[in-house]
Structure 1
Amino acid sequence: MHALKTLTFSLLSCLFFIAVNAQQKKTNDDDKLSLNEGTIDSQFEYVIQKSNNYQDYKVIKKTWLYTLKAHTMDTLKAIQKNLVDTQSIVDNQATQIDTLKRNLSETKLILAETNEEKDNMALFGLQMSKTNYNVLMWSIIGVLFAFLLLFIYKFRNSNAITKMAKKSLLETEQEFDEHRRTALEREQKVRRQLQDEINKQKTIK
């Protein structure tokens, strides 16, 4: 029973505290309201709360209405200016985006051309892929190497033939020299024999 009373007292105390704080907050908010400061909403709230009541109507001072109207017009003008500035910023950003898109397209095109040039090789003014270029170059190298081997073979063969021809010529020259020497000896022998016969004939006479 005592605990129930304590709980009831605590709840009532909390409700009283909340009510006092709410009233104090409302009073503070009312004190903060102003016709010349704050937002348009707070200025309207000031006019509503500070105006007099007459049955179901509110009696508002004309000066407050004119002031509120002026503040509202200023706020609308500021909002309109902000809208114009925002639209200008949006237009500028749209222009920049278009420029960036064009630059991006040009960059992509340049990149594609660069990749194509990187993947292709120019040969005699003709564009060829690297694979075809490598195949052609290695084919040319292979043909040139084959011609080199053929030239070496022909050279060695010709060199061997030349050596054989030189050797044969040397042997022929040696045979010719031997034949000429033999013929010369034979001629000398025949001349001596002829001279001997001439001498014998002179002796007989």
Structure 2
Amino acid sequence: MKKILSLFIAVLLIGLSGKAQLTNDTSKTDPSLRGQYQLMLSKSKTLNGYKLVNPSRLSTFWQNVRDTIVTSHKQLAQVRKKLNEQEKEIQTLKKNISGTESSLASTNARLNEITFLGIAFTKSNYNIVVWGLIIALGIALAIVILRSSKHIHESKYRSNLYEEISQEYQSYKVKANEKEKKLARELQDERNKLEELKGRS
């Protein structure tokens, strides 16, 4: 009976002091989900070896988890969109390079002097111009590929972050469910003892 009364009083006190504790939470130094989780545990009271978590603080933490997941999904969609755009750019550049290489092959078969737009070029000068274009396109292609790999890396990082958050939440959910069942069993035991005492008297 004393345990039940002390548990009820502790829950009531935590509920009444929820607003004051939430204002203190805004001064936390680690804004990450892990930091918020650690802060929530550190701010919870311990009663008979069990943590009593403020429902409003738990709701705030859950909202932050949902916001983080939504933000991660949005960022992942943006990264995918950029990757698709860059893939199209790569295909266009490949077509341009292939067109330039075919024109170079055809010009190599011609005579030493090549006329272009009424201007005569020697074969060596013409080759220098064409190779300059190919090198410039190759550099542009390399830049696009490097940027694409960066976005792919970012996408993998976001996916791993989402998986980590999901696993942490599932683990937390399982632990909370186990604690709730244990508390329910203890409460039922206490009720049974109380019924036995009433039956004896």
TM-score tier, shorter chain, comes to 0.3 to 0.5
- Which gives a bigger RCO, structure 1 or 2 (Cα 8 Å, sep 6+)? 2
Q: Rg bigger for which structure?
A: 1
Provide TM-score, normalisation by structure 2. Answer: 0.40
